[in-house]
Chain A
Amino acid sequence: MKRVLIAGVGNILLGDDGVGPYVVRKLAANYVFEDGVELEDLGTPALDFIDHITGLDALIVVDAVNNGEPAGTITLYRKEDLTRQVSGVRMDPHSPALRESLLAAEWFGGSPKDVTLVGVSGESFSARCVLSEPVQAAVERAMRQILIALSRIGVGFVRQFAESPARTWWMRKPGEVQA
């Protein structure tokens, strides 16, 4: 059994930054995965990300990216792409997240060999709980990239016959009751 984590990362309160948690919850509602696969909405982790990734065989992260591409573009990053850049002076504890957790896990042992970041270029990161149109339209493609990444490492999944509602509670409008 392979230990795999599919982690949605990002702030659900800040527009397109919430695409990671959204995609993961959507996947969880539509697919059943082999034992050993965990799906988690990790929100905005800092160094505690290390604890989630240590000991994994493979890590798939889905997150908004800021890479200058048009909104909704999907870019895949491998481990080397994520760890190559060296951070400089850090002012607050938010900055460590992904890059430094990977470096730290690498350094202390237990870093997943296979790392994929499914990056979705965002359009708007202002305070609201919905995705922009181009990012919403990219959700299906982001999910497909995650499934391809799973297939590549030989991890199985099946699509559920009937779609269940994704537990994206933050997208409800005030006063709206969840179905």
Chain B
Amino acid sequence: MTKRITIDPITRIEGHLRVDIEVENNAVSNAWASCTMWRGIEKILEGRDPREAWLFTQRFCGVCTTVHALASVRGVEDALKLEIPANAQYIRNLILINHGLHDHTVHFYHLSALDWVDVLQIPKADPAKTSALAESISPWTGNSRNEMRAAQEKVKAVAASGQLGIFTNGYWGHPQMHLDPNVNLLAFSHYLQALEYQRKANQVVGMLGGKTPHIQNLTVGGVSNAINLDSQATLGMERLEAIKVLMDEVTAFVQQVYFVDACAIAAFYPDWFHIGGGVRNYLAVPDLPRDAAATVFDLPGGFIEDGNLSSVKVLQKASDQAFRDGVTEDVTHSYYEGKKALHPWKGETVPQVTEWEAEKKYSWVKAPRFQGKPMQVGPLSQVLIGYAQGHPLTRKWTDKALETVSTVSGRKVTINDMQSTMGRHLARAIRAAMLSDLATQHWQLLVDNVAKGDTAIHNNPVFPKGEIAGVGTHEAPRGTLSHWMVIEDGKIRNYQAVVPSTWNASPRDGAGVSGPYEASLMRSPVADPEKPLEVIRTIHSFDPCMACACHAFDPTGTRIATVKVL
């Protein structure tokens, strides 16, 4: 018997992710991922001044706000072949590092940990044992018995008041929850602490960007942070020191808590290193340039085909020719007119609305392809690509993670096992640890450069008559982001944003080949079709963000998973 399950937590006007699966004998036999709202906001940019495009694009979304600002200014700079000052690179890098640390921490603890942690088990934990366990695996100072007891009391109080819904999950007591009560308590106490540390990371974004969400300090050509080490009114030593203090605290949390917890949870769910692989082509663009001309990067880019790490190809530049030439978007199964897969510079966004039809059109997301293939993007791609290239920082944290998980679980977990649902979570923690190391390095690069007497922050853009085209790339928390634009006489003529969740939530293409979400769900176990926790786990592991959300408050708060017997 086949059951069709629709997981569609939407309200009337919020555009969100919808997942449809067919379940046969407790396993997924078919899957469709769709976005339920039109992402045509790029149209708003047509005819506008490229220098202000970033102000609009960063409003695509409140979660990924900085990333769309950055990709936009980089795209215009690419079109103009405009180099930006080294200081501007470092300031932008510090923003994107801290945004990433904030985002990864929030994703792990507040958006996905409760897929694995069962709050109902916490009252059964022994705070003393939890504390002893925690102190045996991490030097973190927030693991005391009192800390654990306080966290447990909070849960007990909330449970007694009947308000567990604050945690906005719903699958407590599911048979697929496997952590012992003490580990549940440990993870939960860190869920509370994580709120404080994600805030500190976000504070750094605010201190450099002026405001969060929606930073204010970018310009096409650099940044607008005036630098003077001796002045308190500008970016001076006092503010830089304050930023350093915050970053050090965040680094300690990421390396001693988040990274350790991700390893521990992974070790308790070793089966999940063999579930949820899906599309095994991986793509990442290089990011965190170390110089003004952006020739050396601290996060390596490249691509891998068919899960074969030895096939890795390197993308040397932020807008490498292979990338510029290789990207197309197909709309066969998307609600747009057109049949041919188009390059983003030639991209069209003409809606063609139909019903949701599994065999025809079913999503507002286009199907991006790289050299004709679907690509998985995100921290996992970046980690695999860096690892395959022998990138030392990637190797350092990945080897540490694999070793820790193997030791705690008693099962050998290898780099190839990372191509899975759990691998995506672990890769995000690895990336966070890498970013935390790089935070200090890029802070130092900035301070040293300024100390040499260089206070340049901006190069003036000059727009030529005629047509130019550019692409701005950024390896964002959710993966490869690219803003493609055609500029004519200094005005935007075409603008297409190919966002990470477009790669991952891609519907089928003209050849019927599924994107990463869809492929990752195939053959996934589903113990209880009424509570498809396994599906949620795999989808959450991608950290979906549909970049098209409308924020209108809906007082009904409708959330639904409907099950139909076919």
B108 to chain A, nearest CB (A): 12
Q: Is B43 an interface residue (CB 8 A)?
A: yes
Within 521-566 of B, Cβ neighbours of A (below 8 Å) are at 536, 539-540, 543-546, 549-557, 559-561
Query: B59, A89: Cβ atoms under 8 Å?
Result: no
Query: A65, B169: Cβ atoms under 8 Å?
Result: no
Residues 77-119 of chain B, each 1 if its beta carbon lies under 8 Å from chain A, else 0: 0000000000000000000000000100011001100000000
CA of A88 to CA of B543, assembled, Å: 17
A9 to chain B, nearest CB (A): 6
* B166 partner residues in chain A, CB cutoff 8 A: 86, 100, 103-104, 107
Q: Is A3 an interface residue (CB 8 A)?
A: no
Asked if A13 meets B59 with Cβ closer than 8 Å, knowing A97-B551, A126-B38, A174-B47, the reply is yes
Q: Is A127 an interface residue (CB 8 A)?
A: yes
* B491 partner residues in chain A, CB cutoff 8 A: 174-175
Q: Is B40 an interface residue (CB 8 A)?
A: yes
Contacts across chains A and B counted by CB atoms under 8 Å: 199
Residues 63-92 of chain A, each 1 if its beta carbon lies under 8 Å from chain B, else 0: 111110000000001000110011111111
Asked if A43 meets B59 with Cβ closer than 8 Å, knowing A14-B41, A63-B551, A122-B552, the reply is yes
Closest to A50 in B: B195
Within 75-131 of A, Cβ neighbours of B (below 8 Å) are at 77, 81-82, 85-100, 103-104, 107-108, 117, 119, 122, 125-129
Q: Is B63 an interface residue (CB 8 A)?
A: yes
Q: Is B172 an interface residue (CB 8 A)?
A: no
Query: B9, A95: Cβ atoms under 8 Å?
Result: yes
Asked if A77 meets B168 with Cβ closer than 8 Å, knowing A43-B62, A66-B11, the reply is no
Q: Is B255 an interface residue (CB 8 A)?
A: no
Q: Is B376 an interface residue (CB 8 A)?
A: no
Query: A127, B44: Cβ atoms under 8 Å?
Result: yes
* B56 partner residues in chain A, CB cutoff 8 A: 13, 170
A129 to chain B, nearest CB (A): 6
Query: A51, B199: Cβ atoms under 8 Å?
Result: yes
Asked if A89 meets B536 with Cβ closer than 8 Å, knowing A44-B213, A107-B154, A128-B44, the reply is yes
Query: A125, B550: Cβ atoms under 8 Å?
Result: yes
Query: B59, A88: Cβ atoms under 8 Å?
Result: no
CA of A47 to CA of B170, assembled, Å: 19
Residues 45-61 of chain A, each 1 if its beta carbon lies under 8 Å from chain B, else 0: 11110110000000000
Contact pick for B559, options A11, A88, A117, CB 8 Å: A88
Query: B195, A104: Cβ atoms under 8 Å?
Result: yes
Query: A117, B552: Cβ atoms under 8 Å?
Result: no
Closest to B200 in A: A51
Query: A89, B169: Cβ atoms under 8 Å?
Result: yes
Query: B554, A65: Cβ atoms under 8 Å?
Result: yes
* A175 partner residues in chain B, CB cutoff 8 A: 47-49, 491
Q: Which of A67, A88, A104 has the most CB of B within 10 A?
A: A88
A86 to chain B, nearest CB (A): 3
A28 to chain B, nearest CB (A): 14
CA of A12 to CA of B212, assembled, Å: 16
CA of A111 to CA of B244, assembled, Å: 29
Contact pick for B111, options A48, A90, A97, CB 8 Å: A90
Query: A17, B544: Cβ atoms under 8 Å?
Result: no
B525 to chain A, nearest CB (A): 18
CA of A114 to CA of B92, assembled, Å: 38
* B199 partner residues in chain A, CB cutoff 8 A: 48, 50-51
Query: Can you list 15 A-B contacts with CB-CB less than 8 angstroms, sorted by A residue number?
Result: A13-B60, A20-B551, A63-B552, A66-B552, A66-B553, A88-B168, A88-B561, A91-B540, A92-B16, A95-B9, A108-B195, A126-B38, A127-B41, A175-B48, A175-B491
Q: Which 3 interchain pairs have the tightest Cβ spacing?
A: A44-B62, A86-B165, A88-B559
